[in-house]
Chain A
């Protein structure tokens, strides 16, 4: 499987605090990788560095071979993201936001693409509604539509289903699985919903204190570590990282 994202020895320090401690991992085309870990483990810091809004203290990030440090624009043209903490501007309508971001990402046949996404994410009736008055679930869907605008080769999703009801969340998971399978895009997905992770991700990375403690297939990893469920494994990583971690495995 060819790599869409390649992270090597990535490190971020804030003063004396190490947020991300020399992690390395890859995401392949058509692969969905779960980035898991307790609060403060370094997941969002890692995503911010991949998005180019946070400069690493050390290490490299390549998106389809393009170094984010030196070829930022070209690397980000093939990337997109959705995060609960980055809603679209509330003073613009769904359509306006999609048009603006579509222009920024250089989307071809933008008008048609927007119509497809409005339909795909059930946003047709909110087309001319300002994002600020949408419910949190509707805002999440608008963010996901923005994230899919440029059919990104690398899609970063930070808790993408956190505000969605179970039916919408399942629908969204299906869409993203289809996108990875059919479009060949790689997905880096963070979530605290282990049921979701097990159902969606091909591979998971468990982060704790900025290091990758475990890596593997979510369906078998729990069994490898004698845990009944992935959630049990998550709790063990959060509570007893030293007992589980044997350093980085990738």
Chain B
């Protein structure tokens, strides 16, 4: 692993961000809108329900965690898409840069961009709606870690899809988090789901995070074993996603797709 090469790709992202409000704004604008929207919804729910149950840490907390996961995934994908949009594959892949270095740089870029979103969400939730993430305690760290790892894995999978099926397939990858969300129980316990959906839920690391978060809010304890299992699953998915990206890259090199990427297919 050559750090200079990794730095080069991260630096490219920095240059692009620094000079482009269109790239910077989405880092925090959508998450801010989500926090505001769900913040008021939860406030309203608190006033109309007589149970005395506080929806803010449950629903708003879930929104914050889910948005963080989406930002991580999109951080990887958009860093990759920069090479698609600028038709830069030939220049990039005809250099000494290895696939491991390239993917590492995408991940580092995503860490930086998702942190921006996370900070904005935390500040907004604390100042406007009084939700302090620290109320979850130190368990928040493994929650974020699991979501981060799975977000990275999904981002690499999405990049693989775009590399394999061409620039137009970008539109396939944006809705993927929405597709996953019903299965991971962002807003409801997994027991709400029919059994067949729960089978999928148990294969998705965020399920363990949201179940754990609800357990804390309801005064229970988080199953550390289950959370560890979620983390192990996320690590496994990262390994699988890296294998997928490498396989797709080798397919593209074998077929000539890298050199003629704008054609989308070689048939």
Chain A positions near chain B (C-beta within 8 angstroms): 14, 44-45, 48, 51-55, 72-74, 76-77, 81, 83, 85-92, 96, 99-101, 103-106, 146
Contacts and interface: CB of A to CB of B under 8 A. Distances in A.
Majority-rule SS of A interface residues: mixed
Contacts of A54: 253, 256, 258-259
* Main SS at interface, chain B: helix
Nearest to B8: A103
15 contacts: A48-B256, A48-B259, A52-B94, A53-B259, A86-B90, A88-B91, A91-B16, A91-B20, A91-B85, A91-B86, A92-B16, A101-B8, A104-B4, A104-B5, A106-B4
Contacts of A45: 256
Interface in B92-114: 92-98
Given A54-B253, A103-B4, A103-B5, A92 B94 contact: no
Contacts of B4: 103-104, 106
Contact of A105 (B16, B85, B95): B95
Query: Chain B interface: which size bin?
Result: 20 to 34
A87 B253 CA distance: 20
Interface in B57-112: 82, 85-98
A94 B235 CA distance: 39
Contacts of B253: 52-55
Contacts of A77: 96
Interface of B: 2, 4-5, 7-9, 11-12, 15-16, 20, 82, 85-98, 250, 253-256, 258-259, 266
A128 to B, nearest CB: 11
A77 B2 CA distance: 12
Given A53-B259, A54-B256, A104-B5, A83 B96 contact: no
A92 B253 CA distance: 26
A85 B90 contact: yes
Contacts of A146: 91
A52 B5 CA distance: 17
B258 A53 contact: yes
Contacts of B266: 14
B259 A106 contact: no
A48 B20 CA distance: 33
B102 to A, nearest CB: 10
B11 A104 contact: no
A16 to B, nearest CB: 13
Contact of B86 (A51, A90, A99): A90
Contacts of A85: 90
